[in-house]
Structure 1
Amino acid sequence: MLTDIPAILFWLKKLLGQLLLPPLAPLLLILVGLLLLRRWRRTGLSVAWLGLAFAIVTASPATVGWMLGPLEATPPVSLAQARQAQAIVILGGGRRSYAPEYGGETVGRLTLERVRFGARIARETGLPVLLTGGLPGEGMAEADLMHDALENDFGIAPRWIERASRDTRENAALSAVHLEAAGVTRIVLVTHAVHMPRAAAEFEARGFEVVPAPTGWFGNREPSDDLPNLLPGANSAFAGWLATHEWLGRLAYRLGV
């Protein structure tokens, strides 16, 4: 049972986020619009059409690409740039709670992509690694799951593990405790390209010089006239969810939420 105010606020924020994100947000708009039809037909139709437009915009490759463009503007890192840093920081990006093939839990898709790229940079540069990701619910801390993947699957042992953070802001704040104690001021930051602007800003606000090392671009840089690539699909819907999540996250941070 949640008893502390920060935890309650965290879960309220997560709940509000789910209500504002696809697919739930457009479905709720459509449902509300249909319920309004009998008494306020014009208003009901407007709300329902708004929900449908929201669903299409956040699932269509063209509009999702437009949403991702400003977020995924950071170019790939070079090894020369990475070698100028003092440490590598890899941010958690979710877990799989049901992974019987791994004996319980494991890192999710996004986290695995970050761990893989961070391991490659660490192997090429020899820089020490910090893993950051906490425990918003039950189970192992995300950083411990990352530790298991990084060491057992990629042969890299992290130097620091930060297990208490619940979001990007706390990733930066709590990682700073370990890094500052070691005299680290310049870091290679590994996260997805769509998340990099917000993540880098949080670490820079803590006084770090950040070498961005984005991975996993979701925007399609190559124009396509192939019909399946122009229609809404599972991949574009997931990318649309990520883009909407990131824009809402940036707005929330600007509002100090």
Structure 2
Amino acid sequence: MQRVYRKPAISFSLTKLLSLLAYPLSLSLLLVLLAILLMRWRRVAVTLLVIAFTWLYACSTALVADWLMASLENDYRPKAMSVLPGADAIVLLGGATRGDAHWSSMADLHTAADRITHSLALYQAGKAPLVLVSGGATTGSRPEAEQIGDYLELMGLPATALLLERQSRDTRQNAAYSRPLLEGRGVEKILLVTSAYHMPRAVPLFERAGFEVIPAPTDYQRLVGEAAVPRWLPTVEDLGRTTAAIKEYVGFAYYRAQGWL
């Protein structure tokens, strides 16, 4: 049975804006700005600057990024293709592209492009006869479902096996808008494909939408080998991974507060 979601108390755009304040770079810059404004209170200003520097430095290291990612990924470890059960459809969540690029006929792939290749591998292994891509658009861009669909067809997925959900703008809408598209095709059991760190939020949302969900995680963020940079030194890549993990925690907390989880 499809669940009815309560109307959010805060608009989508405002929610995204407020969530930026929890991200390491944004929060550190805000603390620096406050320190500048409070320079007449030297001790307070210095304390804010120390907090800003320490927080940004820590969040830019592999030590913190790996720890946060592990807390999200550990419950969704990969299964061999041979033991993964079949389903009625594969549902691929957006987040794999950055959007259409100037002077290019294809969208620019994001770091989560593993979602595309993993979905295709599941289809080619005969795990489901249909792939639904869920992802809408921001103003002035094509829906991400169409962008990902271009890549799936380029890599050999038949157009008859591809279904696009073009309206959703967040994970809750991914689940809600996918339901009517798949319900008419008799789909009840799905293989849900998204990044492993996104699964804790995505799985319960699709279950509440009435699906029997088989997690098919991909895009794991912790590397096996030693990085070229020591784990205690900051890098832009590690800052990005920490930010992605914090975004998931913020999203989970917000969804829980809204009664969606």
TM-score (norm 1): 0.87
Change (3 A) 1:215 1:126: closer
Q: Contact between 1:193 and 1:214, CA under 8 Å: does it hold in 2?
A: yes
2:257 pairs with 1:248: no
TM-score (norm 2): 0.86
Change (3 A) 1:169 1:110: farther
**Identity over aligned residues, as a percent?**
35
Select which of 196, 219, 237 maps to 1:216: 219
- How far apart in 1 are the matches of 2:189 and 2:254? 27
List runs of 5+ in structure 1 lacking aligned partners: none
Which letter does structure 1 place at the counterpart of 2:47? Answer: S
Q: Contact between 1:116 and 1:154, CA under 8 Å: does it hold in 2?
A: no
Secondary structure of 2:172's counterpart equals helix
Q: Contact between 1:72 and 1:219, CA under 8 Å: does it hold in 2?
A: no
Per-residue Cα deviation, 1:230-254 (whole angstroms, up to 9, x for no partner): 4111221111111111111111111
1:113-152 matches, within 5 Å, as 113-125=114-126, 127=128, 128-152=130-154
2:41 pairs with 1:32: no
Q: Contact between 1:107 and 1:142, CA under 8 Å: does it hold in 2?
A: no
Change (3 A) 1:225 1:155: closer
2:92 pairs with 1:77: no
2:167 pairs with 1:164: yes
1:29-68 matches, within 5 Å, as 29-38=31-40, 40-68=41-69
C-alpha RMSD of matched pairs (Å): 2.3
- How far apart in 2 are the matches of 1:220 and 1:58? 17
Q: Contact between 1:91 and 1:131, CA under 8 Å: does it hold in 2?
A: yes
Which letter does structure 1 place at the counterpart of 2:204? Answer: A
Per-residue Cα deviation, 1:155-206 (whole angstroms, up to 9, x for no partner): 3434321000010000001001112222211111111111111111111111
Secondary structure of 1:187's counterpart equals strand
Which deviates the most, 25-34 or 193-202?
Answer: 25-34
2:4 equivalent in structure 1: none
Select the structure that is richer in helix: 1
The number of aligned residues is 249
Change (3 A) 1:33 1:81: farther
Per-residue Cα deviation, 1:128-163 (whole angstroms, up to 9, x for no partner): 110100112212111011111110134343432100
Higher relative contact order (CA 8 A, sep 6+): 2
